[in-house]
Copies of this chain bind each other. A is one copy, B any other.
Amino acid sequence: MKKSKVTFADIAEYTGFSKTTISRYFNNPDSLTLENQSKIAEALEALDYKENKLAKVLANGKTEIVGVVIPNLYMHYYSDILNQLISTYEKYGYKFIVFTGNENPDAERKCIAELLAYNIEGLIMLSHTIPSEELKSYNIPVVTIEREDKFVCSVNTDNYMGGVQAASLLVKSGCDIIVHVNGDLSEEVPAFGRIKGFREFCESSGIEHRVILTDLGKNFEENHDRILRLYNELEETYPDKNVGVFMPNDTHANILLNIIFRQYGRLPEKYCIIGFDNSPISREAIIPISTIGQQVSVMADSAMELLVMQINERRKRKPTQIHEPVHKVITPILINRETTHLGRIR
């Protein structure tokens, strides 16, 4: 029967090197000659040595594990980001322990405590209940994505530009009045930039506009009820105008589109709709929805790059403290489909 665990002693015996040399091979291979490195490598193969990462971790502190805390995986945007983060394994070699926080700060703190107990090398936060000042106090590399990020490094979409792009497309599509619907967001949240970009574009170009900041609810039924009410109000208020609506995301844009489409059997010329994210629902809707696309794979890659930079800095003998957090901003992409007139004419 094959011996179940090959030890350093076995490798030493097989190669004739000391156990110290074998240990150096694993923890500081460059301290051995190339010839000796390859002798040991051959021995590992001959002995069918199974690497024990955990033992290695205790020796050099590199777990190669990154913790990820997301609010949920129901919203397609989060599962998209997570998918792209996990795909960076090929490039960066980091593994991911994933938690969902479910919008509960105490649950999220418990998750983070668990992650710290596993000596994670860094933390990527999509959940937004824990302030960045607290995240900074954990004293490990942190990158946040699309949430409040004052005290830590972050990757966000250029939401301001997204707001400008959306408003500009609605105007070019011939709308008389353009409306932006969003949550009543704090100015510290990156998505607030959309409201600002939309408003400032309209004000500087003298375009009739309206910003409706309201909670659209937490599930499909609530979303549907509130967007139906919103639609009825728009119908009553602007019976003779072409109305362009910029919704906070594609899920909500799809609900509005369905309400109008069921009413008319099509999307009438009177209405234009634009969403945000470019999530699959925007393509799979009754007609393809124009949207502001977040470059999710670029965001995931940038987040890992920023995290690995911090991790590597810490490994240096004399780490340079990064005093100012780095905030990377990714340009969104305007995707012109059939719910805006320019897309319909095509």
A-to-B contact residues, CB < 8 Å: 50-55, 57-58, 63, 65, 72-74, 76, 79-80, 82-83, 86-87, 89, 95-100, 102, 111, 114, 116-119, 220, 251, 254-255, 258, 261-262, 265-266, 280-281, 283-287
Question: A51: nearest residue on chain B (CB-CB)?
Answer: B117
User: Please, which residues of chain B bring their CB within 8 A of the CB of A251?
Assistant: 284
Assess the A284–B262 pair: CB atoms within 8 A: no
User: Please, which residues of chain B bring their CB within 8 A of the CB of A50?
Assistant: 116-117
> How many angstroms from the CA of A255 to the CA of B286 in the assembled complex?
8
Assess the B83–A117 pair: CB atoms within 8 A: no
A83 with B100, Cβ < 8 A, contacts A55-B58, A119-B52, A286-B258 known: yes
> How many angstroms from the CA of A258 to the CA of B266 in the assembled complex?
12
A72 with B83, Cβ < 8 A, contacts A265-B266, A286-B258 known: yes
User: Please, which residues of chain B bring their CB within 8 A of the CB of A261?
Assistant: 286
Show 29 residue pairs from A and B whose CB-CB distance is below 8 angstroms, ordered by the A residue.
Answer: A50-B116, A50-B117, A52-B117, A52-B119, A53-B118, A53-B119, A54-B54, A54-B58, A54-B119, A73-B80, A73-B82, A73-B83, A76-B79, A79-B83, A82-B98, A86-B98, A86-B100, A89-B111, A95-B114, A96-B97, A96-B98, A220-B284, A251-B284, A254-B284, A258-B286, A261-B286, A262-B287, A281-B281, A281-B284
